[in-house]
Amino acid sequence: MFHAQILTLFPEFFDSPLSCSIPKRALAADLATIECIQIRDFATDKHHRVDDTPYGGGPGMVMKPEPVVAAIREARQRQPDTHVVMLTPSGVRFTQNKAMTYVNKGSLTLLCGRYEGFDERICDYVDEQLSLGDYVLSGGEPATMCVLDAVIRLLPGVLGSPESAVLDSFTEEGILDWPHYTRPEIFEGKEVPDVLLSGHHAAIRQWRKEQSIKRSQQRIQES
Order the strands of the 51-52 sheet from edge to edge: 51-52, 62-63, 117-118
Least distance from C-beta 53 to ligand ADE, angstroms? 19
Q: Tell how strand 62-63 and strand 51-52 pair up.
A: antiparallel
Residues forming beta bridges with residue 37, ordered by sequence position: 7
- In this complex, which beta carbon is closest to ligand ADE, that of residue 90 or of residue 198? 90
Nearer to ligand ADE, 37 or 143 (CB): 143
In whole angstroms, give the CA distance from residue 192 to residue 116. Answer: 49
User: Active-site residue among 89, 149, 172, 208?
Assistant: 89
111, 87 Cβ separation under 8 angstroms: yes
| Cis status of the peptide bond prior to 184, with omega within 30 of 0 | yes
Task: Tell me how far apart the alpha carbons of residues 158 and 101 are, in angstroms, rounded to a whole number.
Answer: 17
66, 74, 116, 149: which one is catalytic?
Answer: 116
* 133 forms part of the interface with ligand ADE (CB under 6 A): yes
Give residue 169's identity as a one-letter amino acid code.
Answer: S
Among 5, 82, 88, 107, binds ligand ADE (CB under 6 A): 88
Going residue by residue from 175 to 214, which x/- string records binding to ligand ADE, judged by CB under 6 A? ----------------------------------------
Query: Is-catalytic flag, 116?
Result: yes
219 C-beta neighbours (distance < 10 Å), count:
11
Report the Cα 119 to chain-centroid distance in Å: 23
Q: Is 183 known to be catalytic?
A: no
Which residue, 139 or 179, has its beta carbon nearer to ligand ADE?
Answer: 139
* Residue 132 within binding range of ligand ADE, rule CB under 6 A: yes
d(CA 134, CA 151): 21
Q: Is 92 in the site for ligand ADE (CB under 6 A)?
A: no
Q: Is 131 in the site for ligand ADE (CB under 6 A)?
A: yes
Binding test (CB under 6 A) with ligand ADE, winner from 23, 85, 140, 153: 140
Q: Of the two residues 134 and 173, which places its CB atom closer to ligand ADE in the complex?
A: 134
The burial class, CB within 10 Å (0-12 / 13-18 / 19+), for 18 is: buried
Q: Which residues are catalytic?
A: 89, 116, 153, 168
What residue ranges bind ligand ADE (CB under 6 A)? Answer: 87-89, 131-133, 135-137, 140, 143
